[in-house]
Amino acid sequence: MHKLTWPGICYSLTSMDFDLQVRLTAFDWLFEQTRIHGDVLPRKLLETGYFLNQNRIPLLAPQGIFKPKILDLPLSITTVPNSPYHDSFREYVMYKYRGTDAAHRDNVGLRRLMELKRPLIYFFGITPGQYLATWPVYVVDDDLSSLSFRIEVDETASLSEKSPVTIENPEIRRAYVTASVRQRLHQRLFRERVLDAYQSRCSFCNLRHRELLDAAHILPDSEPEGDPMIQNGLALCKLHHAALDSYMICVSPDHIIHVRQDILEEQDGPMLQHGLKELNEGRLLLPTQKRHWPFPEFLERRWARFRKAS
């Protein structure tokens, strides 16, 4: 008998109620989609959804609090890019009511989910048409004074067995996981915005397959000034990202690409020749908008470290 297991939930499909069956099969479907596409998913895919017992179940719609027709309670909540509702990650998510009426049916639905301790899905808009999917999340508080619900994340299945967190404690676990999701959100925001600025191409070799591209930091994010901003990023394919991080290659402040001298002198087949050596003294492919160009002082600091490593 097939069973679905998520934090605090383990049911056979024949014994659970339909509402819970939809939620857990939606989680399974999302898990498969993120294996294919990564955890930033296209809106069209989420709007199309999946089929359960010949019922099409979309996961997302224009309204922020979304309930498929076959359910009585919301299945997902969404924050669109540049949302006027200003939902934010702190130690938790504060999600604004639908409008200002606490008795609106969407707000009542989230309140009922809180009472039932039922999970739902949170979609955070990274860029137009692209959403970071997070599940399961729970409504844990209703703050009438701010017209907001408090949302916490619970992803026990994704935590390492070596985690120092006592995951049996739901409050500690959710605080830890929500912080992890917040960090992942910042990483995805950085990646998507840098790739958009560079028109989804490697700024070294012009490779245009987005799934093979990364947003590389010029100054590492471990440093005080290594913020995840476009001007501290370069869109690079995975090979050139690794080469940059290893100081095999660098960009000088005048946007010229330089390959380390010992790499230029090495003989090791076509990949080294065409993948690295031929980039030497080429020009960085810059964003079309000059305000997105790398900060010169960041390039200068990276360049000084490269020359020292050489």
How many domains does the chain contain in total? 2
Length of the chain: 310
42 lies in the same domain as 105 = yes
d(CA 161, CA 164): 9
217 lies in the same domain as 109 = no
Residue finishing a domain among 131, 162, 192? 192
**Beta-carbon neighbour count of residue 213 at 10 Å?**
23
User: Does residue 25 register a pLDDT over 90?
Assistant: yes
108 lies in the same domain as 167 = yes
45 lies in the same domain as 132 = yes
Q: What is the pLDDT of residues 84-104, one digit of tens each?
A: 554 555 556 788 999 999 999
250 lies in the same domain as 158 = no
pLDDT-based confidence at residue 176 (cuts at 50, 70, 90): low
Q: What is the pLDDT of residues 203-253, one digit of tens each?
A: 999 999 988 999 999 998 777 676 789 999 999 999 999 999 999 999 999
Residue finishing a domain among 192, 213, 239? 192
Q: What is the pLDDT of residues 259-310, one digit of tens each?
A: 999 999 998 888 899 999 999 999 999 999 999 999 999 999 999 999 998 7
Cis, bond preceding 136 (omega within 30 deg of 0): yes
The per-residue pLDDT for 65 is 96
User: Residue 109's closest CA among 146, 143, 82, 71?
Assistant: 71
Indicate the average pLDDT of the chain.
Answer: 84
Residue finishing a domain among 192, 225, 249? 192
131 lies in the same domain as 264 = no
DSSP secondary structure, 199-222, as one string: TTS-TTT----GGGEEEEESS-TT
24 lies in the same domain as 92 = yes
d(CA 86, CA 234): 28
SS3 99: coil
pTM (2 decimals)?
0.64
Supply the range of the domain harboring residue 240: 199-309
30 lies in the same domain as 170 = yes
19 lies in the same domain as 67 = yes
Q: What is the pLDDT of residues 107-157, one digit of tens each?
A: 999 999 999 999 999 998 888 888 988 888 899 999 999 999 988 887 544
